[in-house]
Amino acid sequence: MFKSIFSRLVAVFIAVLIVGFSITAVMLYYFLDNFATREKVDVLSRSAEVINQYIGIVYENLDNSYVAASLEYTIQNFSSNTNSFIMIIDPTGKIATYKPSSPEILKLLEGLEDETGQLRLKDKNQYNKVMLTDEIVKEKGNFYGLFKGSGVDWLTIEKRLKYKDHVVGAVYLHTPIPEVNRLRTSVFRLFQFAVTISILISIVLVYIFSLRISKPLKEINNAARIIAGGEFQKRLSIRSRDEIGELANSFNHMVAALQNLEEMRRGFIANVSHELRTPMTSIRGFIEGILDGTIPSERHQYYLTIVRDETTRLNRLVNDLLDLAKMEAGEMSFQLKDFDINELIRRCIIKLETQITAKDLQVEADFEEEEMLVKADADAIERVIINLMHNAIKFTPEAGKIKVSTSKHKEKVYISVADNGIGIEKEEIDAIWERFHKSDKSRSQDKTGTGLGLAIVKNIINEHSQNIWVESELGKGTEFTFTLNKGSGNEAHS
């Protein structure tokens, strides 16, 4: 039943509402009980004080019938206004007056007549306590059996009556407890009605709110299933500015990254297939031609030389792929030591001397200082320089010029390889670091390259936590620049 987030959210919110309102109801119930009782006690106590004052007036005007009638009227009004049964007794417990004189009250007073026919409280506990104190006496119950026949408990407020420091009796105000609780019941009914309306409205709001949460999550889930099936064109259109909106944006970025990765994977497979198929086809064709006699014996050495060059190219391609995979997986370790980058550049130029001479190229070395120490992996940086210079040689026309320079700035050493070759188109500059990318689409100028050189260069520089960038202008040349940390010289001279 509660397998979905939507149903769980609705259930949790409704449970929270019910628990919250239940706790509030219990607290309100007891608060209203105390409040109603306290308010009733205050009202009855003030009424008792007023009646006490009237009693004093009556004693001062015993012969005035108007004053006596006024007392009767006042007691009757207090009885009506406070919904209470009022009695006035003398110190011996005789009931002097009582209001209202309803049949119900008369029934409760049955059996209180004494031998003279006067009504009298028979239990001294009903009046002894109040006669001994000026404080208001409050009691709950059936008033020592007086109201036992009513079937309910009563609240009784007792006040001693005095005239000129003489106790002349006491006034009692009795109210049934259900009458005291009537206020609480009325307020509680209003609260129940308000709670019912609130719960209904809250359920509707919770339903809408839960839908706003669960619907985007369902959309994300469905999109994830589609993408898991290999369809990377799916995008989410969730525009909320909360965490779900951020999740949707991250999801879309992830899908875009997966799509790019998939395109790169397909391109990689296509490029590897192309790079492997071409030399393998040539090798197979030449060997079959030699074996079946299509190629005459005097041409065997020529074509076997081609086969050797193609196998060398295949070997270099496989090695480059393995090295690149290790770099990208972080499995290739570099030994950082101090060495002279200028000396390394001289050795690289010597290694490429044959290719440089073959194209009659002019190589210029511009070193800011005779010795320029850097802290890096010498073998890896040699590979970087060889690859950059090989590119410069390859794309520089005959009798062209290549310039290699080093300079220092703060704690960095800048190494540049520049040529005056064909240059790179602006829209291709960002793509030259990709595997198998070749700026000459026809590949007419790059029969021996693997298309992995610059990708390897980029990874080596990244592993050194350094930067590399390129500046190029079509038809005027290209300049690659990378940075290395300056060496301390301790290791180089040790």
Please give the full DSSP string across 117-165, using - where no structure is assigned: S-BB---GGGTHHHHT-SSPEEEEESTTTTTGGGSS-EEEEEEEEEETT
Nearest to 433 by CA among 480, 363, 372, 386: 480
Higher-pLDDT residue of 26 and 275 is 26
Q: In the numeric block, which tokens belong to residue 272?
A: 């590897």
For residues 451 and 271, is the Cβ–Cβ distance under 8 A?
yes
Q: What are phi and psi of 214, to 5 degrees?
A: -75, -30
What is the chain's length? Answer: 494
Instruction: Calculate what percentage of the chain has a pLDDT beyond 70.
Output: 90
Distance (Å, whole) CA 156 – CA 142: 9
Sign of the alpha-carbon dihedral angle for 268, 269, 270, 275:
positive
Q: H/E element holding 71?
A: helix 65-82
492 pLDDT above the threshold of 60: no
Distance (Å, whole) CA 21 – CA 186: 18
Span 160-164, average pLDDT: 82
3-state secondary structure of 364: strand
Q: Which residues pair with 141 in a beta bridge?
A: 154
Confidence class for position 443, pLDDT limits 50, 70, 90: very low
Distance (Å, whole) CA 139 – CA 39: 15
Burial track 278-317 (b if 16+ CB lie within 10 A, e otherwise): ebeebbeebeeebeeeebeeeeeeebeeebeebeebbeeb
**What pLDDT digit, counting tens, does each position of 384-411 carry?**
999 899 989 988 999 999 999 999 988 9
Residue 482: the pLDDT is 95
Span 236-258, average pLDDT: 79
Residue 384: the pLDDT is 92
Q: H/E element holding 75?
A: helix 65-82
Residue 65: the pLDDT is 64
Residue 385: the pLDDT is 93
- Strand ranges inside 191-341, DSSP E: 337-340
Confidence class for position 442, pLDDT limits 50, 70, 90: very low
Sign of the alpha-carbon dihedral angle for 275, 281, 286, 287:
positive
Q: Radius of gyration of the chain from Cα atoms?
A: 53
438 pLDDT above the threshold of 70: no
DSSP structural state of residue 467: -
Q: CB pairs under 8 A, 24+ apart, for 136-141? A: 136/41, 136/45, 136/48, 138/41, 140/177
**What pLDDT digit, counting tens, does each position of 322-375 carry?**
777 777 777 778 889 999 999 999 999 998 898 899 999 999 999 999 999 999
